[in-house]
Structure formats: C-alpha cells, structure tokens
C-alpha cells in the first residue's frame, strides 16, 4: 500500500503529518526532498550551492509561513521524526534541486521568465486571507488549475511539476517492490500527478484539506496509546 500525503509548505500541519504516519505505521516514509535540501533543512541553513532561483522561492515561502506561525519545512521534519518513532526507513525521492533549476532556467522563454519573476514579486504582498482564498479555489479544481498553469507557463509546469512527478513515481514504484507499506509526504500540487503515474498500484491519498482539518480534530484513542507506547519505551 502506498499512501500519498499532500502538504503545504507554509502551513502549521506538523502534528497532523505525524498523526497520519503513526496511524499507518509504514515501513518507509518518503519525503519530497533531495539530499542537498534535506541536509540544508536538517542544518536549518540555506546551502550556498542551491541555485538563486530556489533561494528566492525559499525566501518567499518563509515570508508566507511566518503569517501562519510556522517555518517552511516543518512538515518534512515532522515526517522525519514520525518515521523514527515507528521505525520506518526514510527515503528522499525528489530530483536534485540544482539540476531542476538549471534545466528550468535554460528552457524557459524570456516571456516565461518575466512571468515567473513578476509572480514572485507579487507574492511578497500576499496576505494570509488571500492565501486561504487561493487554497479554497484550488481545492476541488486541481485539474483546471494545472491546465491553466500549463497554458500560462508550460515550461515551468513540465520541469517543476510533471518531470518531478515522474521521478518521484519511479522511486515509489521501485520501493514498492521491496516494501508493502509506504507513506510519501509531498506538496499537494504533486498528488494528482502521482496518483495518475501510480494508478496501477492503486495508491491512497490524504489531501492537504484533510490534513488541515485534522489539526483541529482530537487524536484517536489508538494514536494516544501509540504515542504513550513510544514515550514509555
């Protein structure tokens, strides 16, 4: 069984991510990171080797996360922590960030680059309320959102979304030949593509809206007992 957990990098959802992993007790927990970004996250510093485009994205995400009282990457650190709790192997399944952004920048037209940089600039002025509204519009209309992204910025969608979906799907397929219970924690925008690429394996999905709803729900009795067991041993 493969469970794909969709997360948002700017939301305070760490406890909910841990809850999903504790309840499913997977053999492997996969996260949407490559080794360089994982090291940078664990060290809590930005690597000088990360491309400038990625550092810009990280800066924008940090600003947005601050509005939600969290830090970018907390959900991934929560997944790492929960994997250790349940004795699961950790797998880094994303493509190398430096390679991705080199490919993106070299393939993008001047028009797309201008659009991307303009969008990045406008993101500086996004409010928490605006982000919530955008999320509401996205939920339930993922296909339309991705189609619009493909029309407006085809290279960005291909390189940042489609190619990485295929890469992560191949990693999950390979892991599924050795392990029967896998949880993959990825950005929610990757979930539809992964479900499509993994259709033959019939994966389950826990979407971002479900994860966010869990934040306000009490943990089940089984989770409380599981947490108690780990604390006591």
Q: Containing domain of residue 167, as a range?
A: 2-232
pTM strictly above 0.85: no
Domains: count for the chain: 1
**Tokens (6 digits) for 223:** 């989770």
pLDDT at 188 over 60: yes
pLDDT in tens, 2-46: 999 999 866 778 999 999 999 999 999 999 999 988 888 887 655
Counting residues of the chain whose pLDDT is more than 70, the rounded percentage is 70
pLDDT-wise least confident of 68-82, 114-128, 212-226:
212-226
Which residue has better confidence, 134 or 70? 134
Q: What is the pLDDT of residues 57-100, one digit of tens each?
A: 555 555 454 544 555 678 999 999 999 999 999 999 999 988 99
Choice among 125-129, 190-194, 199-203, 222-226 with the minimum mean pLDDT: 222-226
């Amino acid at each position: 069984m493969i469970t794909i957990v969709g997360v948002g990098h700017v939301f305070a959802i760490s406890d909910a991510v841990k809850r999903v992993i504790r309840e499913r007790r997977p053999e492997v927990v996969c996260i949407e990171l490559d080794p360089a970004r994982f090291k940078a996250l664990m060290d809590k510093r930005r690597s000088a080797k990360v491309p400038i485009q990625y550092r810009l994205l990280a800066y924008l995400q940090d600003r947005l996360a601050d509005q939600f009282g969290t830090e970018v990457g907390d959900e991934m650190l929560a997944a790492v922590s929960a994997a250790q709790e349940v004795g699961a192997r950790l797998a880094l399944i994303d493509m190398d960030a430096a390679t991705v952004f080199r490919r993106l920048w070299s393939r993008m037209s001047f028009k797309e680059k201008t659009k991307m940089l303009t969008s990045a600039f406008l993101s500086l002025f996004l409010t928490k309320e605006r982000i919530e509204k955008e999320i509401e519009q996205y939920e339930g209309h993922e296909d339309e959102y991705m189609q619009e992204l493909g029309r407006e910025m085809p290279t960005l969608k291909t390189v940042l979304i489609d190619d990485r979906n295929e890469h992560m799907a191949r990693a999950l397929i390979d892991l599924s030949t050795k392990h029967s219970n896998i949880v993959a924690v990825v950005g929610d925008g990757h979930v539809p593509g992964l479900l499509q690429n993994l259709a033959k394996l019939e994966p389950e999905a826990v979407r971002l809206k479900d994860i966010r709803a869990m934040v306000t729900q009490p943990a089940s009795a089984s989770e409380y007992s599981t947490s108690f067991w780990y604390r006591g041993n």
